């Protein structure tokens, strides 16, 4: 049995032309250990935008029905040489109804599952059962669709903190769906958390959720307040989804100042461990470090898949079980708008979701 429908691909050519378009596609029966789902809902996450558009000029792109043609900057085109000429499907995670199942997956037929196909911007998608989970009948597709990337990342931050011996967390862009999940996890687990946001409205949002430390990075007294909050919470581990600019540098500077309070002077700075992970690229500019901190610090990148491999199957299974149990509470997602496959390729939609503003996630509904 075969199934036909549409699939979105993104292709970068050597001359810097980026083409996103909907293509007719036929899906064959899934292999052993796989299922084919009729995609009901799939979110547009920042990690998806990196593959869809990267740093392409979407403002001046050519938009036609079901197709976008844009130009990629020359340096970015060179950096992505390995993908030149490849029509790549996109869409990390999804929820849908299983319409066909390979050997060993027959028990999932007819059920709604949450999965990570990597090809979710389509009418149908193939998913491995190792990365697929049946959800309760009461769970709607729009909630199940965002049950992997953000929930597992938020839990991954907490597990990273434990594995590396830290006591608290500082988080930027903390009013996002992921940030709200992290806040609830830390409240449930009694973990000190410093939330950093970019507007008074976002401060109020997190305060209304019960957050203790919420700082607006645009305030004139942001840095003194950040130092005070870190000194109080001992939060020497930061997570930064912005990437570009000075956010990571500000975190390290505040950690240094907090750790040095009451300590004797050292030309090398505090010996207490301080670390910031960059896990996104909401700002595509360079990461700037203003060296107002000593020599005991670390800056690195954080990605969910390598973390899961490092943490091991027992930890990952525990994380997944917690997500499934609390999918409509702690790990509930919120969306600014729903769009169809065709709708996500309009200039109006792209200008909104590709702006990567905190708390303005879009959900794609291929069957609408």
pLDDT of residue 359: 82
Helix, coil or strand: residue 243: strand
Closest to 74 (Cα-Cα) out of 49, 48, 98, 54: 54
Closest to 230 (Cα-Cα) out of 270, 261, 269: 261
pLDDT of residue 57: 97
Side-chain half-sphere exposure of 212, counting CA atoms within 13 A: 15
Burial of 17 (0-12, 13-18, 19+ CB in 10 A): middle
For the chain, percent helix, then strand, then coil, each to nearest 5? 30, 30, 40
Which helix (H) or strand (E) segment holds residue 4: the answer is: strand 3-12
Tokens for 80, please give them. Answer: 């992505």
Compute the Cα dihedral for 63, 68, 74, 75 and give only its sign. positive
pLDDT of residue 193: 98
pLDDT of residue 85: 98
Dist CA 55 CA 53 (whole Å): 6
Which residue in this structure is represented by tokens 């794609």?
Answer: 364
pLDDT of residue 264: 81
Dist CA 90 CA 347 (whole Å): 19
Within the chain, residue ranges assigned H as helices are 46-52, 74-79, 141-144, 149-163, 177-189, 200-208, 222-233, 247-259, 304-311, 313-325, 347-353
Overall fold of domain 3-146+333-364: Quinone Oxidoreductase; Chain A, domain 1 (3.90.180)
pLDDT of residue 236: 98
- Asked if 41 contacts 145 with a C-beta cutoff of 8 angstroms, the reply is yes
- Asked if 296 contacts 268 with a C-beta cutoff of 8 angstroms, the reply is yes
Strand segments (E) across 45-178: 62-64, 67-71, 88-89, 94-101, 112-115, 124-128, 132-134, 169-172
The backbone torsions φ and ψ at residue 124, rounded to the nearest 5 degrees and listed phi first, read -130, 165
Same fold, 3-146+333-364 and 149-308: no
CATH for 149-308? 3.40.50.720
Which residue in this structure is represented by tokens 């001359």?
Answer: 15
Dist CA 275 CA 345 (whole Å): 39
Max intra-chain CA distance, the chain: 74
Dist CA 195 CA 88 (whole Å): 36
Tokens for 275, please give them. Answer: 């670390």
- Asked if 324 contacts 147 with a C-beta cutoff of 8 angstroms, the reply is yes
Cα-based distances in Å from 248 to 141, 253, 287, 316: 36, 9, 8, 27
Tokens for 120, please give them. Answer: 């979710």
* Tens place of pLDDT per residue across the chain (368 aa): 899 999 999 999 999 999 999 999 999 999 999 999 999 999 999 999 999 999 999 999 999 999 999 999 999 999 999 999 999 999 999 999 999 999 999 999 999 999 999 999 999 999 999 889 999 889 999 999 999 999 999 999 999 999 999 999 999 999 999 999 999 999 999 999 999 999 999 999 999 999 999 999 999 999 999 999 999 999 999 999 999 999 999 999 999 999 999 888 888 999 999 999 999 988 989 999 999 999 999 999 999 999 999 999 999 999 999 999 999 999 999 999 999 999 999 999 999 999 988 888 999 999 98
End-to-end CA distance of the chain: 24
Side-chain half-sphere exposure of 330, counting CA atoms within 13 A: 20
Burial of 290 (0-12, 13-18, 19+ CB in 10 A): exposed
The Cβ of residue 206 has, within 10 Å, a number of other Cβ atoms equal to 21
Domains of the chain, residue spans: 3-146+333-364, 149-308
Dist CA 81 CA 104 (whole Å): 39
């Amino acid at each position: 049995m075969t199934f036909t429908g549409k699939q979105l691909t993104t292709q970068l050519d050597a001359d810097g032309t980026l083409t996103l378009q909907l293509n007719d596609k036929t899906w064959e029966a899934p292999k052993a250990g796989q299922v084919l789902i009729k995609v009901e809902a799939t979110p547009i996450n920042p990690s998806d935008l990196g593959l869809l558009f990267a740093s392409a000029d979407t403002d001046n792109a050519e938009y036609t029905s079901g197709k976008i043609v844009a130009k990629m900057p020359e340096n970015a085109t060179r950096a992505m040489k390995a993908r030149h000429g490849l029509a790549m499907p996109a869409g990390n995670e999804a929820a849908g109804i299983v319409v066909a199942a390979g050997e060993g997956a027959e028990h999932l037929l007819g059920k709604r599952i949450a999965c990570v196909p990597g090809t979710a911007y389509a009418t149908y998608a193939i998913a491995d059962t190792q990365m697929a989970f049946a959800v309760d009948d009461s769970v709607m597709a729009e909630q199940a669709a965002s049950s992997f990337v953000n929930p597992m990342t938020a839990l991954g931050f907490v597990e990273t903190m434990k594995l590396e011996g830290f006591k608290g967390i500082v988080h930027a862009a903390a009013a996002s769906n992921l940030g709200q999940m992290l806040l609830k996890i830390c409240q449930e687990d009694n973990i000190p958390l410093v939330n950093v946001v970019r507007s008074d409205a976002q401060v109020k949002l997190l305060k209304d959720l019960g957050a203790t430390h919420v700082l607006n990075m645009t305030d004139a007294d942001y840095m003194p307040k950040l130092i005070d909050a870190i000194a109080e919470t001992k939060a020497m581990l930061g997570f930064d989804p912005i990437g570009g600019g000075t956010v990571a540098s500000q975190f390290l500077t505040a950690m240094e100042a907090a750790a040095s309070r009451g300590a004797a002077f050292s030309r090398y700075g505090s010996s207490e461990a301080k670390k910031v992970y960059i896990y996104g690229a909401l700002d595509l500019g360079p990461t700037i470090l203003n060296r107002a901190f000593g020599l005991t610090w670390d800056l690195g990148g954080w990605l969910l898949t390598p973390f899961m491999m490092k943490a091991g199957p027992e930890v990952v299974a525990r994380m997944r079980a917690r997500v499934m149990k609390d999918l409509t509470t702690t790990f509930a997602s919120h969306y600014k708008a729903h769009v169809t496959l065709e709708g996500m390729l309009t200039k109006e939609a792209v200008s909104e979701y590709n702006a990567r503003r905190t708390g303005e996630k879009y959900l794609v509904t291929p069957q609408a």
